[in-house]
Amino acid sequence: MIAVATSDFASLDLGSLLMQAAQVQAVPASSLTPAGWTPAWAFWILSALVVVGAISTISQRSLISAVMSLVATFFGLAGLYATLSAHFLAAIQVLVYAGAIMVLFVFVIMVLNRDEVERVSDRGLLDKAIGAGALVYLAVRLGEVIASPVGPVSRMSKPAPEFGTVAKIGEYFFTEFLFPFEAISILLIIAVIGAVVVARTVVSRPTTSYEVPNAASGSAEGGDDHAGGDAHGAHGGH
Amino acid sequence: MQLLVQNLLSVGLHHYLILAVVLFGIGTFGVFMRRNALTTLMSIELILNGGNLTLLAFARSHQDMRGQALALLVIAVAAAEAAIGLAIVVGVFRNRHNTNIDELNLLRY
């Protein structure tokens, strides 16, 4: 079962996706709805919100403003998911991203309470050049797909009635995606425990050799320490 | 000109793919160019969302719900990544009192 699930999971590589995309674009025009499959103004408004929010996210000096821009971006993305018939994903996007993750970000920013002095990094320019080259390569490869010989606009037919329903997603998670689903649950447990361990205030570290190791004998030892401190202070005074 | 009007009025798979690339590019730019670790984490979230948009657009284009299942897995991974990343940022800030990622080069050489 696990082997079957993993092999199906691995077969979803990008190459086959792109190949299937090229086949989808060759759908004859008669089977297409006349005005595309989503209201065009919805796409343009939401994508403008997403792009402006993303640019604002990486260019704000104040971190709270950046987080608020990111929330706006995620709401726009949720709307875009809804135009793609992925209503469940849109709801999850609002709940998980715009809700949980952004609250986490806001809490950490409040705890740190520190705006950066210099925004733009100027070190490691070679790495950045390599990254820019990779980005250009990605854009060129995707441009090849987009400029495929079928035509500039690829409209899509109406989805099946059960497309995008929660029941269908759940069905996939309990049949074909069973192994990734279980692996994700393990990953989440590991991540939560790891986050608690990493971010926890270390209690046992300050007790070095000259300090009281436990609080059980704290009263008597504390009295000793106090007396010692007094003696030291008196010595210093002399 | 007619092509432009057609592209404006009829939204297809290409539009979503281009938007995903723009989102991915903005996120990559943020990762490379900003110094604050928190902004870097936010840029990584942007990158992951660009990938998610691609998955959902192809799922819609193929009428295949597996893309949506994959996108849900990506969201779960992003949540785990944000939790771990923010915990690491808090730990780094506790030790170094800043979150400038250019100064975190102790393990580099």
Percent of chain A residues topping a pLDDT of 70? 58
Give residue A51's pLDDT band: very low, low, confident or very high (50, 70, 90): very high
Q: How far is A209 from chain B (nearest CA, A)?
A: 22
Give residue A46's pLDDT band: very low, low, confident or very high (50, 70, 90): very high
Mutation pick from A25, A57, A127 vs chain B, by most beta carbons of B within 10 Å, is A57
Q: Does the pLDDT value for residue A1 go beyond 60? A: no
Give the gyration radius of chain B's Cα atoms.
18
Cβ contact, residue pair A108, B42, below 8 Å: no
Q: Helices A178-199 and A2-10: crossing angle, nearest 10°?
A: 90
Greatest mean pLDDT range, A136-145, A205-214, B44-53 = B44-53
User: Within a 13 Å sphere around the CA of B34, how many CA atoms are in the beta-carbon half?
Assistant: 28
Smallest CA–CA distance from A170 into chain B, residue: B69
Whole-number average pLDDT of chain A = 71
pLDDT value at residue B71: 93
Greatest mean pLDDT range, A107-116, A141-150, A172-181 = A172-181
Cβ contact, residue pair B28, A164, below 8 Å: no
Cβ contact, residue pair A70, B33, below 8 Å: no
Percent of chain A residues topping a pLDDT of 90? 28
For the question of an ipTM over 0.95, the answer is: no
Give residue A137's pLDDT band: very low, low, confident or very high (50, 70, 90): confident
pLDDT mean over A127-136: 80
Nearest Cα to Cα of residue A54 among A80, A84, A89: A80
